[in-house]
Amino acid sequence: MSSTEFKVDRRDIQFILNEVFEVGKLCEFPAFSEFDPDTFHLIIEEAANFAEKVIAPINEIGDSEGCVLKDGKVITPKGFKEAWRQMGENGWIGLSVSPELGGQGAPDLIAVAATDALVSSNQAFLITRFLTSGAVNLIQTFGSEEQKALYCEKMATGEWAGTMCLTEPGAGTAVGDIVTTATKEGDRYLIKGTKMFITSGDHDFTDNIIHMVLARLPDAPPGPKGISLFIIPKIRHDGTPNDITVVNLEHKMGIHGSPTCLLSFGENNQCYGELLQAENQGMAQMFQMMNESRLQIGLQGLAASAAAYEFALSYANERVQGIAVQHGKDQSASRSLIVEHPDVRRMLMNIKATAEGLRGFMYACGHATDMSQHGPEETRNHYQNLLDLYIPIAKAFGTDEGFQAACTGVQVLGGVGYTRDFPLEQNARDAKIGSIYEGSNGVQALDLVGRKFNMKNGELLQSLQEELKYFGQVTIPQEIQGLIGEWNSYRDLMFEAVDNLRHLSKSEGSQGYVLYATNMLALMGDVLCAFYLLKQAAVAQNKFEAMASEAASRESLLEESTDARFYWNKIRTAEHYVLVLLPRALSNARVIKNGSLASLQAKLELAV
Amino acid sequence: MSSTEFKVDRRDIQFILNEVFEVGKLCEFPAFSEFDPDTFHLIIEEAANFAEKVIAPINEIGDSEGCVLKDGKVITPKGFKEAWRQMGENGWIGLSVSPELGGQGAPDLIAVAATDALVSSNQAFLITRFLTSGAVNLIQTFGSEEQKALYCEKMATGEWAGTMCLTEPGAGTAVGDIVTTATKEGDRYLIKGTKMFITSGDHDFTDNIIHMVLARLPDAPPGPKGISLFIIPKIRHDGTPNDITVVNLEHKMGIHGSPTCLLSFGENNQCYGELLQAENQGMAQMFQMMNESRLQIGLQGLAASAAAYEFALSYANERVQGIAVQHGKDQSASRSLIVEHPDVRRMLMNIKATAEGLRGFMYACGHATDMSQHGPEETRNHYQNLLDLYIPIAKAFGTDEGFQAACTGVQVLGGVGYTRDFPLEQNARDAKIGSIYEGSNGVQALDLVGRKFNMKNGELLQSLQEELKYFGQVTIPQEIQGLIGEWNSYRDLMFEAVDNLRHLSKSEGSQGYVLYATNMLALMGDVLCAFYLLKQAAVAQNKFEAMASEAASRESLLEESTDARFYWNKIRTAEHYVLVLLPRALSNARVIKNGSLASLQAKLELAV
């Protein structure tokens, strides 16, 4: 590969799926009995092929062409429409949707892994898929049989696409404050209102777009309890256009290939929609599907770090510059590839450890979804608890660290990284949106410490405590016991920090409690990524030792065997996370312990 | 102000200049005897006016129009040329250049403060000034009387502009590997070669551009010792164009208003230049002026954080969203400005503390420059030591933290922050270059631990130890003694980390020693910013107490007095830095202590 041609890290994906999570075991559950390990393997290989051959090549075009609003319609960049068609035909949109509704019925863990491969090749393109599968799942869960029959298969196969219309000019984070109205007229509802920042609000991928729209009935109670969810197709069932206008297209820092629309519903009092299930259930319905959509955005963060690693590693192995310090100061010595310079290696390892730590953690979310829905009854609650706790961390930590890694990728390339000649700067710009949409990362932190810590009387944190006893219950290879010991101290620090945060609540009330929610989330993200990376390292260490015992020497083994190098690197990567990245947890724990109220006491209000 | 209209934080700049560094005392030195405190005050006010009224309004145009290469000439965005003319006429280009050479002869501290104001309004536009003043200083220091007379005044007044031509396609960080040739022909030199990433390499600001070009004589020794520096005007003294071609213009992530050129010198064997001082002195000459140019880039980082704070604070005081947690859960309560939400306040304080910490630190660099050149003989060496140690930190920590703050600014605005409708996303894109050019931040870290720690047998660190005893030698207001105590422990941790780094050198050689140079630099940056912020807080606390002793109550004082609020906020800001940001030092110190070699041991070379 070259440093502008994208490659999926198939080996790492297959390793985590098969050797760490043993994805094949999911086939024992009735829901997945049609699958077998070979099929799973093939799905991932095909996803990687599709990513590399179809979606990656249109990534730069998406950025440079962007989307255009012309005569009230959105035109997407060259190649996007055709790629969407192929994505639908190949089954990538409805991968985890049940077969009765036109999907493939694959486990969530497999869908997460396939998404990992797909998103890293083209963030902007994939967002329409997030929204379409999200809309399908909403209808699948809450829709009538008629609605399911009407919409699900067409959307799961990509013939139609979907959107989520929540935000309005006056209601972003505070979704409860929306003012779009829905008035009942027989069995349908007249919709009127403006929706903002609607991703894929219009495009030319499909003939029809199915909008999932939050609106308020005239007599509904105020706030979040008075919100209902409506299915509003762009084209009505009789083939006539619904009364929906694309008012504007946002000009953004990145994801130029993704059309972000300002939509007006019912400008001419002719916009009609169908209610989903029952009135005033909109927020509850949205909450129920949030685990899925927030994990998707977390995956975008992972994807940004994975792409940054592939491109930066490749460039570092091509670019010659100076003489690495270990070769001394003799000017006549031959010049070094930049991968030989310690500072460049440190940066590459930061990105690699971030990507592989996030990958382990995100796949754990996919695995927990499957286990909570299809696993043995006695562990379903445990996995649901983990999942509910993990999701805000996956979304916020994934996108924050993914963006950070993307920026480090720019830095590895130096001057050329800042130019559009290499894909790194676009990767960083595209990734920045992740911390903002689908509930800003500040909101995720509030969800974590406000809702999740206190759900079921704190049972979620108890489930986490159980889960993180893992290394005390299995045999750990000698070589990584030191790292596990180090990690144990950070795990304990994390639970202490939870207590310190609660203490802040007692002394300073809700303002004090939420003030360092973000630090709490980051602390947990680090401890969890390190945990799942150490699990990978334990597997890798055993495999490496088995190979080494049959080899002439460790050196020759490393030279000759790609597999041996992979396992070797995996252990080094876990070490790097624990000894170089995880110490950030010390900082976050101290900040929480300090509990400074300076930002509440400062007069940040502008002088009158 | 609105959240798209730029305002300079005049109060903070004047406070640090006058109340903390007591800039008026510099007038006691013969070099600055023509100045008085009122003049200094006026210079800053005028710089702020110029920034707000002339340069800020063309910042967005610079980004959206960008520079264009047409018929071999670079055309800059609308308004840039006229603003440059005004900047020269008003004396902003040659502010610290000596009056004999057409400058104003102001202290460096004043030049730093004026630059702070100017750059924050338009990063892309100001870069040409950095380069022009850098070129003037090179000629001022090393040029012949004839060269000084020919070039300095014209450049200091902005009639001509300057560039620095170091990088070549094969020689970026490794400047010693340049291959551009210079062949002596009488008293002039024939130049031939390609220079890359040349900022302001061509533009329409001025009739002439004076390139300072590194090149190699045929018989020069290899590497850095065989490099000479040449003055190469775009237009020769006889009015004919020199043989310099603009081959390409880079398309970049940001600073679109700054033309980054690929220049070919001597394509037709007709490019002639003059030697600066003597052959083979090019690298030494460049090094001698690096303190200045690296501080300028550090100031760009400060500027990005300052701009982010102004825009984000302003938006947070305009945008209404949800009900802040302290107001309870009653949906009928009136909605809050987002500045009331604790998480938003925390983000704003992160940006504010970064900006004001960096400001204190950068101004200390300017002050040290003046003291080392014009202060009492007995302290000149001390200040030179500080300056040499501070510069790589100012450049790298300033740009890293400035970029981080710029990104936090985007986050405060949420969705609109990601759009081009607000200046935050441009601010972040423009700021990202800071960590890359003028020696990447990794190179700064190597300079710090490799060169600076070991210069003069470690005397620089001894000077720092002396300087950081400050709080033990003065009377500290009771109220902030706790914070000083906390900071003391981080200061001690920093010096321990220096020892740990040296230990790594003994056990692991040069590779181990440089591996965590970046962490060492970040640790020092945090300790130093906190130090200079605490100095500000000590002043502010005394002033606030004096005001409070005469007021009816602290509450009424804060309500009525802008000054009181300023001092109050300054103390809170220092607390926020020490208790919320400085704990990062724990992480960096632990990373150095851990001294993991995983990134050296991993096989990051691509499989063959």
Q: What average pLDDT does the segment A397-409 reach? A: 98
Rounded to the nearest integer, the mean pLDDT of chain A is 96
**What b-and-e string marks burial along A35-51, b requiring 16 or more CB atoms within 10 Å of the CB?**
beeeebbebbeebbebb
Interface contact B446-A347, CB threshold 8 A: no
Given CB atoms, is A176 within the 8 Å cutoff of chain B?
Answer: yes
Neighbours of A551 (CB within 10 A): 14
Q: How far apart are CA A599 and CA B349, in angstroms?
A: 6
Distance, CA of B103 to CA of B118 (rounded, Å): 17
Q: Do B604 and A174 touch (CB under 8 A)?
A: no
The whole-number pLDDT of residue A1 equals 41
CA gap A293, A133 in Å, rounded: 9
The pair phi, psi for residue A76, each rounded to 5°, is -90, 165
Q: Assess contact for B301 and B402: CB atoms under 8 A.
A: yes
Among the listed residues B589, B592, B576, the one whose alpha carbon sits nearest the alpha carbon of residue B516: B592
Pairing assessment for the beta strands A272-275 and A73-75 based on DSSP bridges: unpaired
Q: Do A436 and B421 touch (CB under 8 A)?
A: no
Q: Which of A173, A348, A415 lies nearest to residue B197, judging by beta carbons?
A: A415
Poorest-confidence range of A66-70, A545-549, B101-105?
Answer: B101-105
**Dihedral Cα A504, A510, A513, A514, nearest 10 deg:** -160
The nearest alpha carbon in chain B to A519 belongs to: B580
A474 contact B CB<8A: no
By the CB < 8 Å criterion, does A568 face chain B? yes
Q: Which residues of A446-470 are buried (b: 16+ CB within 10 A; e: fewer)?
A: bbbbbebbeeeeeebbebbeebbee
Check: complex ipTM more than 0.90: yes
Q: Average pLDDT of A434-444?
A: 97
Contacts of B322 in chain A (CB under 8 A): 173-174, 176-177
| A499-512: average pLDDT | 92
pLDDT of amino acid B1: 41
Note which residues in 59-78 of chain B have CB less than 8 A from chain A.
Answer: none
Per-residue confidence band for A2, with pLDDT thresholds at 50, 70 and 90: low
Distances (CA, A) of B5 to A338, B125, B318: 43, 17, 13
Tens-digit pLDDT profile for residues A306-330? 999 999 999 999 999 999 999 988 8
Contact by Cβ (8 Å): A277, A298: no
CATH superfamily of A10-159: Acyl-CoA dehydrogenase/oxidase, N-terminal domain (1.10.540.10)
Reading phi first (left if > 0) and then psi (alpha if -120 to 50, else beta), residue B22 is in left
**Could you give the angle at which helices A562-576 and A342-374 cross, rounded to 10 degrees?**
90
Sequence ranges of the domains in chain A: 10-159, 162-283, 288-597
- Give the torsion through C-alpha atoms of A512, A517, A520, A522, to 10 deg: -150
At A280, the pLDDT band (50, 70, 90 cuts) reads very high
Confidence of residue A371 (pLDDT cuts 50, 70, 90): very high
By the CB < 8 Å criterion, does B334 face chain A? Answer: no
- Chain B interface test: which of A568, A580, A584 (most B C-beta within 10 Å): A580
Q: How many CB atoms lie within 10 A of CB B2?
A: 10
The minimum CA-CA distance between B579 and chain A, rounded to whole Å, is 6
Q: How far is A512 from chain B (nearest CA, A)?
A: 8
- The shortest CB-CB distance from A579 to any of B446, B579, B594 is to B594
CA dist., res. B424 & res. B430, Å (int): 10
CB atoms within 10 A of CB B493: 18
Apex A439 CA angle, A109 and A516, nearest 5? 100
Superfamily of domain A288-597: Butyryl-CoA Dehydrogenase, subunit A, domain 3 (1.20.140.10)
CA distances from A66 to A56, A74, A264, B40, B67 (A): 15, 10, 22, 49, 20
**Interface contact A435-B411, CB threshold 8 A:** yes
Task: Look at B167 and A415 and tell me if their CB atoms are within 8 Å.
Answer: yes
Q: Could you tell me if B84 and B158 are in contact, meaning their C-beta atoms sit under 8 angstroms apart?
A: yes
Q: How many CB atoms lie within 10 A of CB A185?
A: 9
Cα→Cα distances A517→A465, B272, B344, B536, Å: 19, 62, 12, 29
- pLDDT attached to residue A63: 98
Q: Which of A361-375, A498-512, B33-47 has the lowest mean pLDDT?
A: A498-512
Q: Is A415's Cβ below 8 Å from some Cβ in B?
A: yes
Is the separation of the CB atoms in B373 and B447 below 8 Å? Answer: no
Provide the β-strand partners of residue B191. Answer: B182
Contact state of A579 with B586 under an 8 Å Cβ cutoff:
no
Check if A411 contacts B (Cβ < 8 Å).
yes
Written as six digits, the tokens of B323 are: 């009900």
Residue with tokens 């944190």: A461
Residue A328 CA to residue A324 CA, distance in Å, equals 8
- Contact list in B for residue A172 (CB cut-off 8 A) is 321, 414-415
Encoded tokens for A273:
């929609």
Q: Does A444 touch chain B (CB under 8 A)?
A: no
CA–CA min distance B607, chain A (Å): 7
Q: Which of B342, B418, B516 sits opposite A252 (nearest CB)?
A: B418
Which chain A residues contact residue B573 at CB under 8 A?
598, 602
Over chain B (608 residues), the average pLDDT of each successive run of 10 is 80 98 98 97 98 97 98 98 97 93 95 97 97 94 97 97 96 94 97 98 98 97 95 97 98 98 98 97 90 95 98 97 91 93 98 98 98 98 98 98 98 98 98 97 97 97 98 96 98 98 91 96 98 98 97 95 97 98 98 97 81
**Looking at residue B226, what is its pLDDT?**
97
| Secondary structure (DSSP) of A267-303 | TTS--EEEE-SSTT-HHHHHHHTHHHHHHHHHHHHHH
Search chain B and give the residue with CA nearest A563. Answer: B607
Q: What is the rounded CA–CA span in Å between residue B80 and residue A564?
A: 58
Structure tokens belonging to residue B62: 């610079």
**Residue A341 distance to chain B (closest CA, Å):** 8
Whether residues B587 and A584 touch (CB distance < 8 A) is answered with yes
Q: How many CB atoms lie within 10 A of CB B477?
A: 17
B490 to chain A, any CB pair closer than 8 A? The answer is no
What CATH number should be reported for the domain whose range is A162-283? 2.40.110.20
Rounded CA separation A532/A298 (Å): 16
- Cβ-Cβ contacts under 8 Å between A and B: the total is 299
Supply the DSSP string of B358-399, one letter for each residue.
Answer: HHHHHHHHHHHHHHHHHS-HHHHHHHHHHHHHHHHHHHHHHH
Distance from CA of A177 to the nearest CA of B (A): 7
A519-to-A28, A295, A583, B574, B577 alpha-carbon distances in Å:
40, 20, 13, 19, 15
Supply the residues of B annotated as catalytic. 438
